[in-house]
Structures are given as structure tokens and as C-alpha cells.
Amino acid sequence: MLYVMQVLSGEESKVQHMLEAFVLEDGEEIFSPTCEREYRSHGEIKEIIRKLFPGYLFIKTVSPLDLHLRLYEVKTKHFIETLTKLLRSDDLFLPLTTEEEHTVLSLLDTEHHMGMSRGVIHDGTLHIFSGPLVGKEAAITKIDRHKRIAILRVRLCGRDVSLQSGLEIIEKT
């Protein structure tokens, strides 16, 4: 199952490497999804990579309680304050629902990266023809053609979350 861990924003990579070294066991996986965005500067198209969910790490495990105990041990033994918590309700650790997990993983490639999407707007209707947003036009709430981003709403941990994804509109008619 896929669980979400909250960390200090900007510390995702540091915490991920530390957890891979000291906490995770065989069969467990941790990742921080990234997304690609493009922008034009002085006539050149440049690419940047950003965190898709700043301040969050995703952990695949079958035993969240055991993982929590290992996290607590590492946190107290090494005085690591950048770890905060696995998201939970009362005493139950909350995995992503099957639908939420499918939504998140369908946006990502095998490297947990979300590439640029490309599309067109015909008669006010968005049609995406390449990239991870193909077929997800209904989830897009806003497009900023100047910044080449799409803002889409996805459900995560029982609440709606807005994501910024790279989207280039090739043509508008």
C-alpha cells in the first residue's frame, strides 16, 4: 500500500536519502514525485524539474506500524528534526485509497516523474495528445499558456489537492 509522509518543504531529497539508508527494508520504496516544466527565456526553451507534491514523500510498505516504529527510532537516535510524520487518523495510518493511488501513479513514469504534456484548444475545448495528462482533461481547472502550466485537481488523503503540471498548448483556434 502507498502511504504519505509529511516532511519539511525543501528537505524531501535529504530525508528520502536518509530513510533509504537507515529505515527502509527490502520490498519498501520511497519516492518524491517530480514534474517537468518548460519556459522560454531569451528565445530559448528551458526545462526545469520541480517537486509535484512539495513537503511530501510517498512510501510503499505492507507494514506501516513497523515503519513508524523504525522512523521513531531513527528520529530519536539521530536527532533528525526534518522528519515529521506519516499521515494518520487517530491511531490508524491512512494509506491512499486504491483510486487515489491509481491517480497518482498514472501521472508518473517508472522513475516517478511527470513529463510535459502537449495539446491544442479547438473551439474552447482542450485536447491533450501527448504526455501524462492525456485523458485527464476534465481534472484540469486552469491553464496558464504563458507559463506553460496546467493546474489540475486530484484527490489525495481524502481531500482535493491542486497540482501544477507542465502543459504546452501548441495551437488555439
Total structural domains within the chain: 1
Greater model confidence, 79 or 164: 164
Report whether 148 contacts 168 (CB < 8 A). yes
Residues in CB range of 101: below 8 A, 6 or more apart: 1, 2, 95
Span 54-75, average pLDDT: 84
Span 143-158, average pLDDT: 91
The DSSP secondary-structure symbol of 106 reads H
Report whether 1 contacts 88 (CB < 8 A). no
> 101 is in which domain, residue-wise?
2-172
Q: How confident is the model at residue 77 (pLDDT cuts 50, 70, 90)?
A: low
Closest CA to 4 of 110, 88, 107, 108: 88
- Share the mean pLDDT of the chain: 87
Strand partners, 35: 50, 114
Q: What is the pTM of this model?
A: 0.84
